[in-house]
Amino acid sequence: MLANAVLGVLGVMTLWFVFNWIKVYKDSPSGSPGFHRIAVGFVTNFFDTLGIGSFAPTTAWLKGANLAPDRVIPGSLNVGHTLPVVVMSFIFIQRVEVEPLTLVLMLLAAAGGAFFGADIVSGLPEKKVQLGMGFALFVTAAFMFAGQVGIMPGGGEAVGLTGLPLVIGVVVNFFLGALMTLGIGLYAPCMALVYALGMSPIVAFPIMMGSCAYLMPVGSSKFLKNGAFDAKAALGLTLGGIPAVFIAAYLVTGLPINVLTWLVIGIIIYTAITMLRAGMMNTEVAADHVATEK
């Protein structure tokens, strides 16, 4: 019942977003997005459905191929990826068993963290957060690897939480949502959290995708209102992204848990390396900035 309510609210939010987008498109028709932009949407959303994330590769592709002006790339990402992420959320919430109260509380915690996150994380040094998260993800991946090869017990099959683990999950997911305002993605840390709390790795997918799906229609509508997006790029991401989501989602939900766990380990390691690299680059940028000021 709770899960159905989550999807019902998400459906209403999505219809509101689509209505706003159609209104903007009718006022300023942009024409066909072209094959290249649709291909960007397909590839990036396929890997996003696997848990890797889509914003960074989409940014690099749009910028490198000059498919959208730099100024409106953030808005294009949000508007274009909204409907694919919503589709992900509907598929995983319906196909993956999650205890309803756990799903709803963790989803609302992440959404609330992102909503209030600016006030919470505005004073945090981004580079220290990136380095800390990168290290923590490496440690989690090491424990997962040890469990996979039989060195130590690891993981679990639980589809829900109760008591103290539920409280910990809700609190941590709130802060993961808040960290999204620093540009730190929720996917891999959420996977690590789910594993650490003894739940099945696949449970992370409806939680993390549902969290983002709740955020994106609201944020994207602001970009639509302000005209701060490239219409062709956004439309291409959506048209290519939706079919990619169906293909990748049914691939993920069809994987044996053992294989899925290896996939999650790879994603967490990839994200850890990305965060550590970003943190070290932030340090270098800061040093260069100080030297320039002197």
- The tokens describing 76, both together, are 């294009």
Q: What percentage of the chain has pLDDT greater than the value 90? A: 22
Q: What is the pLDDT of residue 237?
A: 95
Residues 6+ positions from 137 with CB-CB distance below 8 Å: 188, 189, 192, 268, 269, 271, 272, 275
Q: Give 291: exposed, middle or buried? Use CB within 10 Å, 0-12, 13-18, 19+.
A: exposed
Q: Is the pLDDT of residue 69 over 80?
A: yes
Looking at 59-68, 104-113, 280-289, which range is the least confident one? 280-289
Q: What is the pLDDT of residue 153?
A: 57
Residue 158: strand, helix, or coil: strand
Q: Is the pLDDT of residue 2 over 50?
A: yes
Q: What is the pLDDT of residue 285?
A: 45
Residue 199: strand, helix, or coil: strand
Residue 64 domain boundaries: 2-293
Distance CA 155, CA 151 (A): 13
What is the pLDDT confidence band of residue 181, given thresholds at 50, 70 and 90?
Answer: low
Q: What is the pLDDT of residue 42?
A: 97
What's the N-to-C CA distance of the chain in angstroms?
Answer: 61
Looking at 63-72, 101-110, 120-129, which range is the least confident one? 120-129
Q: Is the pLDDT of residue 87 over 60?
A: yes
CB atoms closer than 10 angstroms to residue 190: 26
Q: What is the pLDDT of residue 287?
A: 40
Give how far Cα 181 sits from Cα of 49, 78, 188, Å.
21, 13, 16
Note whether 103 and 209 are within 8 A (CB).
no
Q: Look at the chain and report how many structural domains it folds into.
A: 1
Q: What is the pLDDT of residue 82?
A: 92
Distance CA 198, CA 175 (A): 19
Q: What is the pLDDT of residue 183?
A: 62
Q: Is the pLDDT of residue 169 over 50?
A: yes
Q: What percentage of the chain has pLDDT greater than the value 70? A: 90
Give how far Cα 89 sits from Cα of 22, 98, 131, 258, 290, Å.
22, 13, 29, 23, 44
Prediction pTM value: 0.79
